[in-house]
Structure 1
Amino acid sequence: MPLYEYQCTQCDNRFELRQKFSDEPATECPSCGGAVQKLISQSGFALKGGGWYAEGYGSGGSKKPDAPPCGSGGGCAGCPSAAA
């Protein structure tokens, strides 16, 4: 079931509700009974397993890209070691 986030328009209370897709949206704050507004929030998204990228996207299968040695200057934005 999806998790929805709401905010009260009177007391600014933020709360989450786990609801079915078929459930009606919440209309009342559990703290003060005021009207609530549904918020748009980021969802958790994770790719698990080998997946399409590791197995078939690149030309070479599971070959890791060559990286310059650490300390070569220029920052670590694309460095595979920085992600670890």
Structure 2
Amino acid sequence: MPIYEYKCKSCGETFEARQKFSDPALNSCKVCGAADVTKLISQTAFSLKGGGWYQQGYGGSSKPAACPSGGGEGAGCGGCPKAANG
């Protein structure tokens, strides 16, 4: 569930609320109870968890060797279709 940030116009406090996308916006302050709050646009945290494309191919500093162009059969490609076909 996303965390939304709100600011009360009466007391000036900023607070967060964990809400579903389908939940309506809050209309009262959690601190003073006033009915004058606005939803703020703030920077969100974004995190990819678990395995995936980044860890399997793009995250490491070592990169696979490029296929040599016109380098004869099996020259450094290790099973590359280009090397097998010549």
TM-score, normalised by the number of residues in structure 1: 0.57
Alignment root-mean-square deviation, CA? 2.4
Structure 2 CA distance for aligned equivalents of residues 39 and 57 of structure 1: 35
1:40-82 deviation per Cα after TM superposition (whole angstroms, max 9, x unaligned): 1111112334532454459xxx4537xxxxxxxxxxxxxxxxx
Structure 2 residue runs without a partner (length 5+): 64-86
Counterparts in 2 of 1:30 and 1:57: CA distance versus 1, 3 Å: closer
Percent of pairs identical after alignment?
A: 55
TM-score, normalised by the number of residues in structure 2: 0.56
2:25 is the counterpart of 1:7: no
Structure 2 CA distance for aligned equivalents of residues 5 and 56 of structure 1: 36
Measure how far apart 1:26 and its partner are.
0.4
Residue 77 (structure 2) aligns with: none
Structure 2 CA distance for aligned equivalents of residues 39 and 63 of structure 1: 39
Instruction: Trace 1:35-74 onto structure 2 (pairs within 5 A).
Output: 35-49=36-50, 51-56=52-57, 62-64=60-62
Structure 2 CA distance for aligned equivalents of residues 31 and 17 of structure 1: 12
